[in-house]
Chain A
Amino acid sequence: MSLKVMNLTGGYTRTPVLKNISFDLADGELIGLIGLNGAGKSTTIKHIIGLMDPFEGQIQLDGKTLKEDPSLYRKKIGFIPETPLLYDELTLKEHIEITAMAYDVELSTAMERAMPLLDKFRLTDRLEWFPSDFSKGMKQKVMIVCAFIIEPSLYIIDEPFLGLDPIAIRDLIRMMELKKAEGASLLMSTHVLANAQRICDKFVIINNGEVYAKGTLNELREEFGMPEASLDEMYTELADKEGFLK
């Protein structure tokens, strides 16, 4: 079992944003975290990567919590944030270097892993560029490259498709599927439900800081009695019916 989120309650101040969230993510599995703006997806992610401390509950990665072995725990996670966060003063190449340094990957290995990705994203000529020279989509690509060169066992990707061009979206999906086939687990939060339906094995639907439903597409269809519905149809219908918007 790769990632285990157990009864997670947490938030920014004393009032919890997340209430009793539980789900598991197995090796070689891709879970889509679905929910409206402000539902608690990013907050859940922040707890998993260790930027926030749970009020209650536990998060285990391969049986260990962050507190038990912070270094090992963090090494297993590759994180791609929703808005690209890069160092203003470092070039693209140096972003790869510093990532390699931080995650104890040999520099030559890191570059070897990076080159095909850079090639795919048409960034090979831009190794000397600064983030300020990049468009939003390019920055996102740099984030993706940096996460993939550490070859973590858990990929956490917050809104991966925003700002990417269609070719890059296709390539990213292929890369994610490849990693999945190699046995890595992936947790992805997204609003692009069509893509999510295509690639995710399971879904965790979060509303108002709680897990509203979880399971495979078929399990969800069964649970809500909508046998033919797409994820998109199901989600909007549920949101209307259950008053998610309130």
Chain B
Amino acid sequence: MTIKDLFKTRQSIYYKKMSKYLKYVMNDHFVILLLFLGGATGLAYQNYLETIQLNAVLPRVLLLLIIGLTIFSGSLRTLVEPADAVFLLPKEEAFNLVMKRNLTYSLIFHSVYTLLIGVLAAPMLRAIGHMDSEGTVFWLLTLVIWKAVHGIHAYYALKQHRNETGRIIRSIILTVSLLAVAVSLFLSILTGFVFAAVTLVFFAFFVFRYTQNERWNWELLIETEQRRIQKIYGIINLFIETPQSKHKVKRMKILDFLYALPLLKENTEIYFLSRMFVRNYNFSGLYLRLLLIGSIAIYFSTNWITHSIISGLFLYLTGFQLIPLRQTFRKSIYFRLYPDTDTDKIKTIQKLILLLLSGSTAVYSLASISSGSQAVLRLLLINSVFTVFFTTVYLPGRLKH
């Protein structure tokens, strides 16, 4: 088997796995939420476009931020595995070709969402009178070119060079691309396009001709790929249990006072689960994100029906996505060895989720303060009923599932 075949096999396994997981991620409630949020955002965007004034500056600044984030996000999909550093080391030349293919694949993938952002941004640029319809083509091309420059930079960054050189190149690329996008947005779309095209030609020449003989930095290759995969699994794990869920653990000493709650000292399971929840960003991060987004949405909406729907939706999402906590017990042999055999693991998870949802209930209710204290009390009542129903009626069945 050649290295090319090896990576082809890996790729088909990878895509098969991802599409399998994607099916679970795109479950019914999630799709409904996405449609709901997408619809709301679309509507808000449309309203915003109508109020926009000619030659306004704020939309451009906003776009600069969004486009910057789009261009700088995303990494190369290399499918390198830790063992490669041992087994593929003698085959660097063949691996070069594989990496070029990887680059192409990644560029195609990244271009798709970059184009989408570009298309969505086009009406705004037209509304401020900065771009006509012919300009749209150049605008989109500019974005794709910058994405390509960053893809090539990601490729270059995985090679061995002196730290300093790497840093200089990175800052140059960063500065030039931000500057050029600013040119596109504030001066002229066409100038921006020329700027982008010239940068691409020079940089591609530098990477594929001038430094093409530099060797790969295997440790970095492996680390980067592992990080990328973990990021993907971090998201997938919020929806279903996958065997691949390594994650960085943070100590969060500042939150140690939480564990003083008597409930959290009841037995070994809740002792472990509470700390696991706080320190594993997969769980605590999700909880905080939903708490924040939900609160903001409630704060800015005005009538009690919207409040209740948003609270209910977010409480449900929070609770539902904490169900994988169940898998943490399966992963450890100790909970099968500990002497106390009468504990009910499902009850423990139920308790923790009740505690967390009670927290969310309180925060969401307080977030409706913009509509008066009566609204807060009403929402508190509705949310409490929902939380109790969710944890005592809905959850046990799901956990046993």
Contact = CB atoms under 8 A, between A and B. Distances in A.
A97 B251 CA distance: 16
Interface string A147-160: 00000000000000
A192 interface: no
A90 interface: yes
A78 to B, nearest CB: 10
Given A90-B272, A103-B339, A51 B333 contact: yes
Interface in A47-98: 49-51, 70-75, 77, 79, 81, 85, 87-91, 94, 97-98
B341 A90 contact: no
A71 B275 contact: no
Nearest to A103: B339
Contacts of B275: 89-90, 94
Contact of B249 (A72, A74, A75, A130): A130
Nearest to B265: A101
A51 B337 contact: yes
Given A88-B249, A89-B279, A130-B249, A74 B334 contact: no
Given A89-B276, A97-B271, A74 B333 contact: no
Given A89-B249, A90-B272, A102 B340 contact: yes
B93 to A, nearest CB: 35
B338 interface: yes
B46 to A, nearest CB: 45
| Residue of B249, B253, B279, B339 contacting most chain A CB atoms (<10 Å) | B339
A128 B251 contact: yes
A72 B340 CA distance: 9
B267 interface: yes
B334 A102 contact: yes
Contact of B251 (A51, A74, A91): A91
A222 interface: no
A87 to B, nearest CB: 6
Interface in B337-354: 337-342
A214 to B, nearest CB: 26
Interface hub of A90, A91, A102 (most chain B Cβ within 10 A): A102
A62 B372 CA distance: 68
Nearest to A72: B339
Interface string B310-354: 000000000000000000000011101111111000000000000
A24 interface: no
Contacts of A101: 267-268, 271
A50 B339 contact: no
B316 to A, nearest CB: 26
A74 B279 contact: no
Contact of B337 (A79, A89, A94, A97): A79
Nearest to A97: B271
Interface string B242-277: 000001110101000000000000011001100110
B122 to A, nearest CB: 46
Interface residues of A, number: 28
A94 B279 CA distance: 13
Interface residues of B, number: 23
A77 B339 CA distance: 9
Contacts of B333: 51, 81, 85
Nearest to A100: B268
A132 B249 contact: yes
Contacts of B251: 91, 128, 130
Given A87-B332, A88-B249, A91-B251, A74 B271 contact: no
A130 B339 CA distance: 25
A132 to B, nearest CB: 7
A71 B342 CA distance: 9
B332 A102 contact: no
Contact of B268 (A70, A91, A102): A102
A70 B280 CA distance: 32
A50 B336 contact: yes
Contacts of B334: 85, 87, 102
A50 B337 contact: yes
Contacts of A182: none
A102 to B, nearest CB: 4
B254 to A, nearest CB: 13
B214 to A, nearest CB: 31
A106 interface: no
A75 B339 contact: yes
Contacts of B247: 88
Contacts of B272: 87, 89-90, 98
Given A88-B249, A101-B268, A102-B268, A74 B339 contact: yes
A104 interface: yes
A71 B341 contact: yes
Contacts of A89: 249, 272, 275-276, 279-280
Nearest to A70: B341
Contacts of A128: 251, 253
A103 B337 contact: no
A85 to B, nearest CB: 6
Nearest to A131: B249
Nearest to A81: B333
Q: Which one of A72, A75, A97, A98 has the highest number of Cβ atoms from chain B below 10 Å of its Cβ?
A: A98
A49 B339 contact: no
Given A75-B339, A102-B339, 8 more contacts: A51-B333, A51-B336, A72-B339, A73-B339, A87-B334, A88-B249, A89-B275, A102-B334
25 contacts: A51-B333, A70-B341, A71-B340, A71-B341, A71-B342, A73-B339, A74-B338, A75-B339, A81-B333, A85-B332, A87-B276, A87-B332, A88-B249, A88-B280, A89-B272, A90-B272, A90-B275, A91-B251, A101-B267, A101-B271, A102-B339, A103-B338, A103-B339, A104-B339, A132-B248
7 interchain residue pairs of minimum CB distance: A102-B338, A74-B339, A75-B339, A89-B276, A70-B341, A102-B268, A71-B339
